[in-house]
Chains A and B, each alone.
Chain A
Amino acid sequence: MAEITLKVNGEVKSLDVDPTTPLLWVLRDHLGMTGTKFGCGIAQCGACTVHLNGDAVRSCSVAAKDVSGAEVVTIEALAENGGAPLQKLWVEMNVAQCGYCQAGMLMAASAMLKHSPKPTDDDIDALVSNICRCGTYPRVRAAIHKAVGMMASKGTAV
């Protein structure tokens, strides 16, 4: 066991955990933040995507010991971290079906838009590579494009 300190959604958290525990399970089991989902455990599906120091990462494959001192943003705080317009479009455009993968989709999409506010379809293909078994991809893409259009017309970040 080891003492790990990290900042999650703006709050400093200190935990006594097995240092090999994946960030995913630190969030879900130790901090009780279940918005970040377990899908595959091998960084394939992206359901567990969070922002780590501003970048989208698959939290199932990041060990607790490697995030000490880091800043983590999860779906629970996406709205306060610029994601509210994207989340609103997700609802309006009825993107989710079962919804289980959508927290990861939103975290991946919002990180992409922070780094490239005008993504091409190729960017989307590369950076929002999460698996959705329900097949919501057409709506995910449409919602991202709409968000980009809104950002362009308002000059705001998503």
Chain B
Amino acid sequence: MKRMGLRRRDFLATSVVGGGLAFTIAPASAERAPLAQGPWAVDGDGGVEMHAWISIAPDDTVTIRVPNPEVGNGVATQVAMNVCEELQCDWSKVKLEFASVRRDYLENGIYTVGRQPMFSGHGTDPERMPMALQLGAAAREKLQRAAALRWKVWQDEVDAKDGVLIHRPTGRTLRFGEVAAEAANLLVYNEPNLKSQAEWTFLGKASPPKLTAPAIANGTAVYGIDVKLPKMVHAALKQCPVHGGKLKSHDPKAVLGMPGVRAVVVVDPAKTRGTPKAFTNPIGQAIMLTTAQSGVAVIADHYWQAKQALDALPVEWDLGPGGKFPTEKAVYAQGVAALDKGQGQVVRARGDIGALKGGKVIEATYATPWCENAAMEPLNGTAMVTADKVEMWLPAQDQHQAQWVAVDETGLPPDKVEHHQTLVGGAFGRRTMADDVRMVVAVAKEYPGVPVKVIWSREETMAQGRFRTPIVSRFRATLDDKGALVGWKAHTVQGGYIYGLQSFEDIPYVVSGGIPNAEISNTILPYHVLTGAYRGPVYNSHSFMVESLIDECAHAAKVDPVEYRVKLLGKWDPAWIECLRVAAAKADWGKPLPKGEGRGIAIANWPNAGIRKNGTTVCCVVHAAVSPKGDLSVKRVDVTFDCGRVANRDAAAAQLEGAVIFGLNAAINEEITLQDGAVVETNFDRYPMIRIGDAPPVINIHFDALSGDDRFQPVGECAVGPVQAALANAIFQATGKRLRQTPFRKAKLGWA
């Protein structure tokens, strides 16, 4: 690999310490160290700093400060692996910490590199990965130089391996920890060259478990909800059950006498103080903020006391316009009405769809509902607000966003916001809205001076989801005499406002010219229900729809669904065809199955379907069985994918396995419905989830279709979309029933 283009920060190696500010190495302040222990970075711990990202202790512990929160996808471990490859430290002595966003601010973006710099993803981001490698190389160079000075030998005679420095001619050794203090103060005059990828010994070769795994297995891992602080109080929160509604009245006196209750506080969006500063990270990328919701919280010594009092608190809401919304069925009715009007905004056009005459026409309407992210850790967070400071301990999904939300909510300047990143008990996009951060700070600022831990009950978490946006789409596909797709008209009606129809218009079948005539349009309908990101936003609906319809076309043309897609993709990135071919071969495609069983295939790419050699292409084959009575089970899933190259195979496999199950749950189980504008499914008794007995007994992740193209694209989201279509296509094979709306559990599948 070439030396990274040092875009912002010249000479990592030659700077004495990190980011220009002299950074004092001092013990952590006694005030908070004993109780507030967690995975966040603590100033001055971990030995001496080679750089803001890397400290080395005398006992050889290498502390790597990772900017990216860990939500379960392994991003933090990946970034640490990137550093370790060039540093040549002993992986068993690596300690992970989450970098401080305040330090990032004070030191001019010392942790800010790549796309969404302090977000919980993109560990192999094309800018961040070289940066981490370069930091590792720079630190190693200093260590080698320190050893050379100690031994009075030439530096190029000193090797580094597994945390040990070796003088090649004499075999003398020094441990990293023995020279780290000297190394930290050295100037190195040339930025070291990086190894080529072929020379890597760790990345792409080793598959270590996540660095967080031991603490998770022994119960010491600290998630947001686990933070313990001196004088901390607990808050139970309730927001208006209809999104957008307001608190009309409440009676604190009714609960203030209950055990442990200290206060009842109101969150009023009008009290957001705002800030004149722009909401950007240190390299000017905009940060999305959402507003506070009207709510009320009870603060008590313990959470259970707060929850009991909140449940007993008399509250009246002004439900607002959303309260007049009858049920979710109106969404579908309004969606279909908008489709019938047929006037969407055209986002892509090709050829002349209007001139098509004759041929076989397939018209179909597909729909997917609101869905909830349902991360296992309920929304929560802890904050202490004083007149001149905010300190927070959060399971944030984006640290920059958390910082700016606190700035906006309190009106304090960014350097007065200190955030300590905890582990995150699942996110799947839910924590990207940062409404949770906002509410935590808004509650804490009403009870200043002590840390306030705010916990959403599961019911509150689900009622206040930022749901997957509902989508209703109508397609008109035209096949010529030979069954080839010659026309593709798609009109999509989408509710909600956060995510646009990203990648809906960029299906390769159209972009490549495989379908010569196309018109893709959309309409946005505003609903009061708040929406947000849901693992593979919008894509998770769109690939279900598109890949189901392609299957309909294949059957109409009486062509095998694999061959039909291969032909359609003839002008496209050959890696797609490879994914299809390998998946079909691995999954015994075409091998006869008993009655009531079927295989379905689907292919898609996240996040850049419309660009060759980009994103991750993934193909799923689902083998499903439907009993005569209509009980559905998934017997096996085979997955091929092309993300270019893979840095940690087992980590990639884990993400793909998880995404398959996530997608199956979306397809089979998930739907948020409404009654009088409020969410009906507020806990798992009404929002069914796949459990171990429902999960496919076999999920095969195949690495055989990797193209080897020089990119390391993320794999966590890509499978969520196509696995849904592959299941629908398998059900069609098994029963002849075409499912065009999720969740499938509501469909009658019996065939006896």
Complex contacts, B226 vs chain A, CB 8 Å: 34
Max chain B C-beta neighbours (<10 A), residue from A75, A94, A124 = A94
Given contacts A41-B458, A134-B72, A138-B657, contact A90 B377 (CB under 8 A): no
Proximity string of chain A (55-92) to chain B, C-beta cutoff 8 Å, 1 when within and 0 when not: 00000000000000000001110110000000110111
Query: At the interface, yes or no: B71 with Cβ under 8 Å from chain A?
Result: yes
Given contacts A76-B219, A138-B695, contact A133 B375 (CB under 8 A): yes
Query: At the interface, yes or no: B56 with Cβ under 8 Å from chain A?
Result: no
Given contacts A87-B217, A101-B376, contact A137 B695 (CB under 8 A): yes
Shortest C-beta distance, A144 to chain B (Å), equals: 9
Query: At the interface, yes or no: A13 with Cβ under 8 Å from chain B?
Result: no
Name which residue of chain B comes closest to A93, CB basis: B209
Contact B302 A25 (CB under 8 A): yes
Shortest C-beta distance, A91 to chain B (Å), equals: 4
CA distance A63 to B678 in the complex (A): 30
Shortest C-beta distance, A68 to chain B (Å), equals: 17
Complex contacts, A3 vs chain B, CB 8 Å: none
Query: At the interface, yes or no: A5 with Cβ under 8 Å from chain B?
Result: no
Proximity string of chain A (36-50) to chain B, C-beta cutoff 8 Å, 1 when within and 0 when not: 111111101101000
Query: At the interface, yes or no: B172 with Cβ under 8 Å from chain A?
Result: no
Complex contacts, A98 vs chain B, CB 8 Å: 70-72, 375-377, 423-427
Contact B219 A35 (CB under 8 A): yes
Name which residue of chain B comes closest to A107, CB basis: B219
Query: At the interface, yes or no: A103 with Cβ under 8 Å from chain B?
Result: yes
Contact B376 A42 (CB under 8 A): no
Complex contacts, A126 vs chain B, CB 8 Å: 693
| Total count of chain A residues near the partner, CB < 8 A | 63
Complex contacts, B220 vs chain A, CB 8 Å: 35, 76
Complex contacts, A42 vs chain B, CB 8 Å: 458, 683-685
Shortest C-beta distance, A25 to chain B (Å), equals: 4
Contact B304 A133 (CB under 8 A): no
Complex contacts, B305 vs chain A, CB 8 Å: 18
Proximity string of chain A (101-137) to chain B, C-beta cutoff 8 Å, 1 when within and 0 when not: 1110010000000000000011011101111111111
The answer, among A40, A92, A136, for a CB contact under 8 Å with B458, is A40
Complex contacts, B374 vs chain A, CB 8 Å: 133
Contact A130 B216 (CB under 8 A): no
Proximity string of chain B (652-665) to chain A, C-beta cutoff 8 Å, 1 when within and 0 when not: 00110111111000
Complex contacts, A76 vs chain B, CB 8 Å: 218-220
CA distance A47 to B72 in the complex (A): 16
Query: At the interface, yes or no: B692 with Cβ under 8 Å from chain A?
Result: yes
For window 186-221 of chain B, which residues contact chain A by CB distance below 8 Å? 207, 209-210, 212-214, 216-221
Complex contacts, B425 vs chain A, CB 8 Å: 37, 98-101
Contact A100 B376 (CB under 8 A): yes
Shortest C-beta distance, B455 to chain A (Å), equals: 7
Complex contacts, A36 vs chain B, CB 8 Å: 219
Query: At the interface, yes or no: A53 with Cβ under 8 Å from chain B?
Result: no
Shortest C-beta distance, A1 to chain B (Å), equals: 7
Contact A134 B426 (CB under 8 A): yes
Contact B213 A91 (CB under 8 A): yes
Contact B302 A37 (CB under 8 A): no
Contact B216 A102 (CB under 8 A): yes
Complex contacts, B684 vs chain A, CB 8 Å: 40, 42, 44-45, 131
A-B contact pairs, 27 of them (CB 8 A): A25-B302, A29-B234, A30-B302, A34-B222, A34-B228, A35-B218, A35-B219, A39-B377, A40-B684, A41-B459, A42-B685, A92-B209, A94-B207, A94-B210, A94-B651, A98-B377, A98-B423, A98-B427, A99-B72, A103-B216, A132-B376, A132-B692, A133-B426, A137-B661, A138-B657, A138-B696, A141-B692
Other CB < 8 Å A-B pairs besides A91-B214, A98-B425, A130-B692, 4 of them? A94-B650, A98-B377, A102-B217, A135-B662
